[in-house]
Amino acid sequence: MWRWLHPYAKPEATFHLVQKLLPWFLVPGIVLSVLGLVWGLAFAPPDYQQGESYRIIFVHVPAAMWSMGFYVAMAAAGLLALVWQIRTAELALLAIAPVGAVLTFISLFTGALWGQPMWGTWWVWDARLTAQLILLFLYLGVMALYVAFEDERAGAKAASILALVGVINIPIIHYSVYWWNTLHQQSTVTRAITRLEAPSIAPEMLYPLLVNIVAMMLISAVLVMLRLNNEILRREIHRPWALKYLGIAVSTPAATTGKE
């Protein structure tokens, strides 16, 4: 596996791979987002007790789910950056953090909008909501730590450590509703994986939800890939391959000296 992965330690190889993969994420992402949102918001039946208000689930659950998923991905990048000292992994960490932070914010915000009419409160300091708020702070901490050092490699190192330490919070978020009394209800979809119980949602609501979950992953991945490639390009801007990619090879000093 390492022989297969090693070429991508070189930013150039990663850049071209991401460039190749991008349309395969972007096109299905857009199609599934439109499909999932129209299906969920317009065609799925209303809930027996929450009526139409439950429809925010089609945004809330995918965002909350991937706020944790992308955190794990970011921590994995942190591990690569720390142990194998792969620079591309540091850039990946930097690329993922703001996207994950936005997903976390969306989950908290839509949760508040949902909580007000259903529970009767915007916010309550129960274990689930608090743990998710800590996740937002972890993302913000990773971003702040990355740029808090004059030496960028040192910043990346510190951010990687924080990202890795913060992984402890992920199981706490998921199991908070089982370990403690919370206002937040228990897991509806993920329990199929973590507790081997059937999802407790009618199929005509589950299918659009699953579509939205996949769509949210694809769209977020596209944002991460764009950020990663922009960052790679920005750092490698003076390298011949980058200039060639940007199509400005002819007018640069490097190219002219090559001609002479």
Selected range binding other proteins among 68-76, 88-96, 148-156, 229-237, rule: CB under 8 A = 148-156
Q: Angle of helix 87-118 relative to helix 127-147, nearest 10 degrees?
A: 150
Which residue, among 75, 3, 54, has the nearest Cα to 206 in the 3D structure?
Answer: 54
Residues forming beta bridges with residue 51, ordered by sequence position: 47
User: Using the rule CB under 8 A, is 121 a contact of other proteins?
Assistant: yes
Which residues contact residue 16 at a Cβ distance below 8 angstroms, ignoring those fewer than 6 apart? Answer: none
Selected range binding other proteins among 1-9, 13-21, 186-194, 232-240, rule: CB under 8 A = 186-194
Closest to other proteins by CB, 8 vs 119, is 119
**Restricting to residues 34-63, which ones interact with other proteins according to CB under 8 A?**
45-50, 54, 57
User: Using the rule CB under 8 A, is 152 a contact of other proteins?
Assistant: no
Which residue, among 9, 172, 173, 163, has the nearest Cα to 107 in the 3D structure?
Answer: 173
Provide the 8-state DSSP code for 45.
P
User: Using the rule CB under 8 A, is 187 a contact of other proteins?
Assistant: yes
User: Using the rule CB under 8 A, is 194 a contact of other proteins?
Assistant: no
Could you tell me if 40 and 213 are in contact, meaning their C-beta atoms sit under 8 angstroms apart?
no
Could you tell me if 95 and 106 are in contact, meaning their C-beta atoms sit under 8 angstroms apart?
no
Closest to other proteins by CB, 8 vs 149, is 149
In this chain, which of 1, 42, 150, 196 binds other proteins, going by CB under 8 A?
A: 150
Closest to other proteins by CB, 6 vs 195, is 195
Could you tell me if 129 and 184 are in contact, meaning their C-beta atoms sit under 8 angstroms apart?
yes
Phi, psi of 51 (to 5 degrees): 65, -135
Min. distance of Cβ 62 from other proteins in angstroms?
Answer: 15
User: Using the rule CB under 8 A, is 117 a contact of other proteins?
Assistant: yes
Radius of gyration of the chain (CA): 21
Please give the Cα distance from 260 to 128 (Å, whole number). 66
In this chain, which of 22, 28, 102, 188 binds other proteins, going by CB under 8 A?
A: 188
- By the criterion CB under 8 A, which residues form the site for other proteins? 45-50, 54, 57, 117-121, 124-127, 130, 134, 137, 141, 144-145, 148-150, 158, 162, 178-183, 185-188, 191, 200-202, 204-205
